[in-house]
Each structure stands twice: as C-alpha cells, then as structure tokens.
Structure 1
C-alpha cells in the first residue's frame, strides 16, 4: 500500500501508484468510494517488463546482473544445458511492435 512500505525511500513509487490508480478509476468511470484498483505488479518479471518497455526502443540494450550476482531471471539466464533464455528475444520482438 502506498505510504506503508517496508523499505523507506519509496515516496516517488507511492506517487506513481496513486496517480495510476486514480487514472484507472477515471478511465473506467468508477466511483473510488465503491471500487479499488491494484496497480502493483505481482512479481519481478512483469515489473521489469513494464520498466523495459517504458524506456527502451527497439534493439536497445541494457546491462543486467546474472543471478548469482543479484540479478533477476528477466535479465537473461544461461541454464546448465548452455542455451540462453529466450526472454531477451521476446522482449525485443514486443518492443518492435510498439
């Protein structure tokens, strides 16, 4: 919930979340006294994907850490069989359709 997060320093996230919530209610002409909207991503994957598609252009590259160094699965992984994750390609294809 905005204003009630475990970690400090999230006041800008709270502002963005409140703005998104009010815009979603307005877009669907819903009464905020009767309706609530949860705009938080349910995990790191959709959160990262939202951030990537918000700031990247087609074929842009980003640097991400590998899992043992504190990275996330959405940064691309090399499984034991040696094949790379297809997520970076998928992200590239989605960005191309923007």
Structure 2
C-alpha cells in the first residue's frame, strides 16, 4: 500500500512528476521550432543585407518597392486583373 501511495505521489504530485516533465518537453519542442523559424529568418535577412550592400541592389529595391525613378525617366505600373483587389459583393 505504501509503495502504491509513493508511486502515485511521485508520478502526479511531486515537483518532478511525469505531468510536469511532459509539459516541459512540449515547451522544449515549441522553443526548438521557434529557434528554427528565427534561424531561417536570420538567413533571409542576411541575404537581403548582402543584396542591399551594392548600388544595384539599392536601386532595384527603390524602383520595385518605392516606385522611385531617375530624372528624365517615365515609369509605367502595369497591374494584372488577378492582382487587383476587387470589391465583389455579388459572390
């Protein structure tokens, strides 16, 4: 009887119980997934920084994202029908 009470105490109520270990293992898994995500983001940022470290990269970003242009230059923005946000209330 004492062994059963001791086993129940150790498995459920103790500060090192299996329930706490299961929760901690889930937390570790979540943190490892987060770590992998942030490492991937760091690699993307390093590539972007490397690309922006050249004059051509800065010019490309300015033209594509901010629609900047050189003097005496015209820019035409072509939008395709599937890229436009249409307000279709009939659907």
The TM-score bracket by the shorter chain reads under 0.3
Computing the radius of gyration over CA atoms, which structure comes out larger, 1 or 2?
2
Question: TM-score scaled by structure 2?
Answer: 0.24
